[in-house]
Amino acid sequence: MIIELWDVYDKNRNLTGKTIKRGSKLGEYDYHLVIHVCIFNSKNEMLIQKRQPSKKLWPNMWDITIGGAVQSGETSTKAAERETFEEIGYRVDLSNDRAFFTINFDNGFDDYFLIEEDIDIKDLRLQYDEVEEVKWADKDEVLQLAKENKFINYWFLEKLFEIRKQRGAYTK
């Protein structure tokens, strides 16, 4: 079994020089970095994944395209590329991109990457222990799944569809 290490950050997102094993408790005022990738197609549908029933957190729930922890020594961009390939077998080049937005959570920072790619899901190779299935879903379907408690209910879920091509100030 491979031991996964995370870099530890301070509240200002500066590296502290410490690492922690995945699953270990972070110290007070210690934080780690997580990435999420939302892949949209040209029809304004998001590629969503259903988490395996064996997952510790949110088993059998639908989720945004990709999510995962940044490993020690990685940038969030490299982690987003790695996790996308690991979870759905799709190579994405984010070398000229940065996180679309970041949300602070109790134990760290969530970096979100929003990209547009028209992907044929038949060509994807799903990571068996993580992802049960994937499908394209429009905003109405995603919001309905969330309403039925079948989709992880991110508080900004509806906004993802509206801001996916925005940078800077949001105007409707």
pLDDT single digits (tens) 46-100: 999 999 999 998 999 999 999 999 999 999 999 999 999 999 999 999 999 999 9
Question: For residue 32, what pLDDT is reported?
Answer: 97
Strands (E), the chain: 5-9, 15-21, 32-40, 46-51, 62-63, 66-69, 101-105, 108-116, 131-137
Where does the pLDDT of residue 106 fall: very low under 50, low under 70, confident under 90, or very high at 90 and above? very high
Question: For residue 8, what pLDDT is reported?
Answer: 97
Residue 93: helix, strand or coil by DSSP? coil
Q: What is the pTM of this model?
A: 0.93
- Position 169 pLDDT exceeds 70: no
What is the C-alpha to C-alpha distance for residues 70 and 77, in angstroms, rounded to an integer? 9
Where does the pLDDT of residue 166 fall: very low under 50, low under 70, confident under 90, or very high at 90 and above? confident
Question: For residue 1, what pLDDT is reported?
Answer: 63
Domain ranges of the chain: 34-159
Where does the pLDDT of residue 133 fall: very low under 50, low under 70, confident under 90, or very high at 90 and above? very high
Report the greatest alpha carbon distance in the chain.
48
What is the share, in percent, of the chain residues with pLDDT greater than 90?
89
160's CB contacts (< 8 A; 6+ apart) are: 38, 46, 64, 114, 154
**Does an H or E element contain 85, and which?**
helix 76-88
What is the C-alpha to C-alpha distance for residues 21 and 48, in angstroms, rounded to an integer? 28
Residue 162: helix, strand or coil by DSSP? helix
| CATH superfamily label, 34-159 | Nucleoside Triphosphate Pyrophosphohydrolase (3.90.79.10)
Question: For residue 2, what pLDDT is reported?
Answer: 75
What is the share, in percent, of the chain residues with pLDDT greater than 70?
96
